[in-house]
Amino acid sequence: MKRQLGRFIGLLAGFVFAAGALVLPAAAAPAPSSTVVGGTQADQGEFPFMVRLSMGCGGALYTPQIVLTAAHCVSGTGDDAGITATLGVVDLNSASAITAHSTYVYQSPAFSGAENGNDWALIKLDAPVSGSQVATLAVTDSTAYDNGTFTIAGWGAAVEGGAQQQHLLKATVPYVDDATCTKAYPGLVTAASLCAGYVDQGGVDTCQGDSGGPMFRRDAAGGWIQVGIVSWGNGCARPGFPGVYTKVSTYAADIAAAAATL
């Protein structure tokens, strides 16, 4: 089985790495109990915490100056001024887009490959971003939200191997229990991973260019809370293979501790 180890757009022969968008195959079957079959365009201001990163990944604004993304999107820990973050818009070509540049990257020190877990990283920006266009996204430190229906969003490919998107797309996907996900991915590290998608028919998923972006849902107070980070999967929206997301509740304390040092 050829696994797609990280949904980040890379240049390694033999693998299709991804980092941004939602998949809507033309023949996708309707998802049960859901009005979303595949990606639809997000409204301006709907998800003000979404971040597009210039290396072809997504992210979420963790603090006004720190972006939470996937470890496989970055090359290591240290000074890095080479990443541009675009925020505050759903249309990447909008004149209203806010841009900021990285100064430092922190990659989880335990990261050894997306399929092994610890797939999270922090990017410090050159200045805090502010204004009505942007907002931070809370992360869960409890497994209480690791179930139900999740929202995914990104600027990545709308079909497996397709082009990146100019406009932010969104979709909803249901939780997939560990036993079912382990059948699709033998050896899955369930303490590190959270799976979501329509296992039987596929048709809705994150894809190339969505890596590092958030998977989120409403919390008990009705606010958005991040439960996952787009990590990896076998292709995009394939029947039998749900998306695999970094389980944020497992790493929330480590993420907070690292952010406090930046």
**Cα separations in angstroms, 124 against 63, 83, 139, 175:** 9, 10, 17, 31
3-state class of 43 per DSSP?
Answer: coil
Q: Which residues are catalytic?
A: 72, 119, 211
With contact defined as beta carbons under 8 Å apart, do 114 and 185 qualify? no
In the DSSP assignment, the letter for residue 144 is: G
Q: At 116, give phi and psi (nearest 5°).
A: -95, -5
CA angle 46, 50, 56 (to 5 degrees): 135
With contact defined as beta carbons under 8 Å apart, do 143 and 101 qualify? no
Tokens of 124: 């410090």
Tokens 């029947």 -> residue? 239
Q: For residues 105 and 228, what is the distance between their CA atoms, to the nearest angstrom?
A: 20
In the DSSP assignment, the letter for residue 4 is: B
Q: Which among 68, 73, 115, 71 has a CA at the least distance from the CA of 252?
A: 68
